[in-house]
Amino acid sequence: MENTYTYTARSIEEPEKVVTFTLHDDRMSVDIGTPVEQITRTLVDLKEDVEEEEKEEEREPEKHAKVWLKPLAVSLVEHGTGALHITDVDAHVDEDYLSLRSWIRLNGLRLLPITLMAGRIDNPAAAAAFVAEVNMRKKELASGLPFLNVLNYWVTWLGAAISMMALFLFWQRHTSASEPVT
């Protein structure tokens, strides 16, 4: 791929939590990383859970489910987010705090905002460079009249449809009330 830029954000509070953002042309991919420490901890937790289950006479199914729930959730998030359009990404950095939000689209219209990253990170200089790159790419892609951006949201179209129905019902009621009874 041409024109790529990759940034990996690592949490200060929990260094095993990493998220990798890759910019490619007008898109951004999100990869929730699983560093070696996290995999090792998961395997140790799994081994401990299995040993506990063997000691217990009565199995508790919710304990076994907890072990597999987190990796499943991470996998679903990775598949669900996919490549996001860069114009939907809002990136800010303030000292060592990185905030990344985006929109999930349905049929090309913005449906739901999601937070991709919000927390203290270990490399503020790299985060600032990444945010600058995101904002530069957004500026390059910005075109059209700013007031038309409101048409990019489902809620706008839903509000317009409801308003039109209300006006139609008001007009219908008003015209039927003003007609003489014969």
User: Per DSSP, what are the bridge partners of residue 117?
Assistant: 100
Q: Kindly indicate the confidence band of residue 106, based on its pLDDT and cuts at 50, 70 and 90.
A: confident
Q: Give the mean pLDDT of 25-36.
A: 76
Query: Is the pTM above the cut of 0.75?
Result: no
pLDDT in tens, 123-180: 999 999 999 999 999 888 876 556 556 667 667 778 888 989 999 888 888 787 666 6
Task: Find out whether 9 and 98 touch, Cβ atoms under 8 Å.
Answer: yes
Report residue 21: phi and psi, to 5°: -110, 130
List the one residue out of 100, 75, 92, 94 whose CA is nearest residue 22: 100
Question: Would the pLDDT of 90 be above 60?
Answer: yes
Q: Kindly indicate the confidence band of residue 93, based on its pLDDT and cuts at 50, 70 and 90.
A: very high
Query: What number of other Cβ atoms are within 10 A of residue 112's Cβ?
Result: 10
What is the pLDDT at residue 157?
A: 76
More confident: 45 or 65: 45
Q: Kindly indicate the confidence band of residue 121, based on its pLDDT and cuts at 50, 70 and 90.
A: very high
58-88: b (≥16 Cβ within 10 Å) or e: eeeeeeeeeeeeeeeeeeeeeeebeebbbbb
